[in-house]
Amino acid sequence: MRGDTLLVFARAPRLGTLKRRLARGIGAMATLRFYRGQLAALLGAVARDRRWTTQIVVTPDRARARWPRRVPVRPQGQGDLGQRMARAMAPHRRVVLVGSDIPGIRAADIAAAFRALGRVQAVFGPAVDGGYWLVGMGPRRPQGPFARVRWSTRHALADTLANFAGRPVALLRPLRDVDTAKDLIALRMRAA
């Protein structure tokens, strides 16, 4: 449905400001190249799909960067990750949000998330590390869907699911996000 919205949460691709744990393992320049390549691959896979509208939601708010031309860019605003996600998702009736550091996201994953929202109130794409690479919500949402979530821990998905207790949710296939050099090595070994 054209009224569906996909939000890509991204950090402006600037040397020395990205993925600090990854940069400790592979260096700042290699991290910048990885991030730019990953963001371009993600947008190439999902942004042109006519089944939804795609927006990049960026931090820092006034970051200047070269973004794909036909993808609207808007700021994330202030607050912790949950506050920024909730604010970005709030104006949309059916919305899916993905991070920009998860290789392997396909248009089919986004389509599956929107299909799931036809029968459940929320959908999650679990990450191997206990977080999630996708969250989608329909119009019936709990107040504070991201309250009390321990971000960047193995508890992030479980904490978020607790906020949806008693509501129907769906889970998509698990994917690995890339936070460290170890994650990148595992990803490359799996691809080979």
Classified as helix, coil or strand, 125 is strand
Classified as helix, coil or strand, 187 is helix
First and final C-alpha spacing in the chain: 36
The C-alpha atoms of residue 54 and residue 83 are separated, in whole angstroms, by: 20
Which CATH number is 94's domain given?
3.90.550.10
pTM above 0.85, yes or no: yes
Interval 122-144: pLDDT, tens: 999 999 999 999 999 999 999 99
Percentage of the chain beyond pLDDT 70 is 98
Q: Which range, 18-27, 156-165, 172-181, has the best average confidence (pLDDT)?
A: 156-165
Interval 39-89: pLDDT, tens: 999 999 999 999 999 999 999 888 777 777 689 999 999 999 999 999 999
> Which domain range does residue 182 map to?
5-191
The C-alpha atoms of residue 85 and residue 83 are separated, in whole angstroms, by: 6
Location of structure tokens 């320049």: 29
* pLDDT given for residue 1 in this prediction: 43
Number of domains in the chain: 1
Non-local (6+) Cβ contacts of 73 within 8 A are: 55, 56, 57, 58, 67
Sign of the torsion angle spanned by Cα atoms 30, 47, 44, 179 = positive
**Among 25, 12, 5, CA closest to 183:** 25
Mean pLDDT confidence for 5-30 = 93
* pLDDT given for residue 2 in this prediction: 58
